[in-house]
Structures are given as structure tokens and as C-alpha cells.
């Protein structure tokens, strides 16, 4: 699994949107719907991880900026 290519948040979001679109089709076979649902849930977890990582990075940046401003005063 170490050779997996890292997919961007935007690409994951597009993939998730495509899955939702397919799931909304009336003629979708049950088995395919279940597979798409599982795939969508996996992508959703990746998106959550990416958002949490970005949130942590922003938080650290803001803390560092705040500390640098204190040091200047």
C-alpha cells in the first residue's frame, strides 16, 4: 500500500460528487450501489483527514504568528 498515489482534496471531492450522482440514478443495480456507497465512505474519510490536517496546519501557523507578534512588542 505504500506505493499509493496521494490524491488531492479537490480530486477526492470530485470523485465523491460523481459517486453521489451515480447513486441517484434510478436504474442502479443494488450491488453496484453498495460498492459505490463503500467507495464513497472511504473517500469521505480521506477528505476528513485532509481537512483535519489543513486545520491543524492553519492553527499552528496562527499560533506561530501570534507568538512572533508578541516577541516583536
Cell matching residue 3: 506505493
List per-residue pLDDT tens for the chain, 73 residues long: 445 678 999 999 999 999 999 999 999 999 999 999 999 999 999 999 999 999 999 999 999 998 887 777 6
Q: Estimate to the nearest angstrom the gap between the alpha carbon of 70 and the chain centroid.
A: 34
Q: How high is the pLDDT of residue 71?
A: 72
Amino acid at each position: 500500500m505504500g506505493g499509493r498515489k496521494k490524491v488531492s482534496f479537490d480530486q477526492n471531492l470530485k470523485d465523491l460528487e460523481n459517486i453521489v450522482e451515480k447513486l441517484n440514478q434510478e436504474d442502479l443495480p443494488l450491488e453496484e450501489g453498495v460498492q459505490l456507497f463503500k467507495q464513497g465512505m472511504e473517500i469521505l474519510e480521506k477528505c476528513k483527514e485532509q481537512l483535519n490536517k489543513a486545520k491543524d496546519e492553519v492553527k499552528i501557523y496562527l499560533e506561530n504568528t501570534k507568538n512572533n507578534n508578541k516577541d516583536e512588542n
